């Protein structure tokens, strides 16, 4: 995938650039003994030099498109991008 065909990301309806991700282990609400990996997105809004951390971004094609793109860019490990291993 090249920069020209990467998905366009949005936060609150505003286009943003995803500059990175932070993976955080969180307890499952139903079973605090078990955890899941939460993905926090590091984004940059237009005309801003600073980045922000957000928990939700949107893109045409949905979460699968987002995770595929971020995996291809080396930001997400395969087990997070595709927890079913391609099944």
Contacts of residue 10, Cβ cutoff 8 Å, sequence gap at least 6: 16, 57, 58, 59
Q: Report the predicted TM-score, pTM, of the whole model to 2 decimal places.
A: 0.84
Contacts of residue 69, Cβ cutoff 8 Å, sequence gap at least 6: 1, 6, 7, 59
pLDDT bracket for residue 5 (50, 70, 90): confident
* Number of CB atoms found within 10 A of residue 31's CB: 8
Rg, Å, the chain Cα set: 14
pLDDT digits (tens, 9 = 90+) for 18-63: 999 999 999 999 998 999 999 999 999 999 999 999 999 999 999 9
């Amino acid at each position: 995938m090249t920069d020209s065909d990467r998905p366009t990301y949005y936060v609150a309806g505003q286009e943003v650039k995803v500059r990175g991700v932070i993976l955080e282990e969180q307890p499952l609400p139903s079973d605090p003994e078990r955890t899941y990996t939460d993905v926090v997105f590091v984004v940059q809004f237009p005309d801003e030099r600073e980045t922000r951390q957000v928990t939700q971004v949107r893109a045409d094609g949905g979460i699968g498109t987002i995770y595929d793109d971020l995996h291809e860019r080396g930001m997400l490990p395969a087990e997070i991008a595709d927890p079913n291993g391609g099944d």
